[in-house]
Amino acid sequence: MLNDYPVYATIATGDLARARSFYEQTLGFTVEMEDPTGGVFYRSGATRFLLYESQFAGTAQQTVATWVVDDADAMIDELVGKGVTFEQYDLPGLKTDERGMAELGPFRGAWFKDPDGNILNVGTGPAA
């Protein structure tokens, strides 16, 4: 049924101008399309995500978007160079190292927050 269709993340922000600056300047995304109701679509690989204003921005306490990258260590270095700070976790089943990287079986990942506090992830994993 739905498995035949693409899916994309929707990320809430309380301040669209501030969030756009972060996603465009810091993370390097280019606007694909502006939604007339106030959101912005960004292309990311073969998918896209929507950034939109909401009074509930930043209230999710879990990862809202993950980017699967070829080299997580290099991506962390690049993002740190842009001012991104990675989260530190010491939870049952999730312990990060000093850089914010966690080893989860065949997966490796690191988490950071956008200006609204939305939790974002970059990581690597087994080939599809």
Domain ranges of the chain: 1-55, 64-128
Note the pLDDT of residue 91: 94
Confidence of residue 127 (pLDDT cuts 50, 70, 90): low
> Which ranges constitute the DSSP H helices of 11-111?
16-21, 72-81
Tokens standing for residue 67: 């980017």
How large is the average pLDDT for residues 80-89? 97
User: In whole angstroms, how far apart are CA 16 and each of 13, 71, 116?
Assistant: 6, 30, 10
How large is the average pLDDT for residues 97-108? 93
Question: What percentage of the chain's residues is helix, strand, coil (to nearest 5)?
Answer: 20, 40, 45
Calpha distance 12→55 (Å, rounded): 8
* CATH number corresponding to 1-55: 3.10.180.10
Q: Which amino acid, one-letter code, is at 104?
A: L
- pTM of the predicted protein model: 0.92
Calpha distance 65→61 (Å, rounded): 12
* Fold (topology level) of 64-128: 2,3-Dihydroxybiphenyl 1,2-Dioxygenase; domain 1 (3.10.180)
Note the pLDDT of residue 38: 86
5-61 pLDDT, tens digit per residue, is 888 999 999 999 999 999 999 999 999 999 888 899 999 999 999 999 999 999 999
Tokens standing for residue 109: 């990942």
Q: Which amino acid, one-letter code, is at 26?
A: T
User: In whole angstroms, how far apart are CA 36 and each of 22, 50, 69?
Assistant: 21, 12, 31
Which residues lie below 8 Å from residue 6, measured CB to CB, with a gap of 6+? 47
Q: Which amino acid, one-letter code, is at 12?
A: A
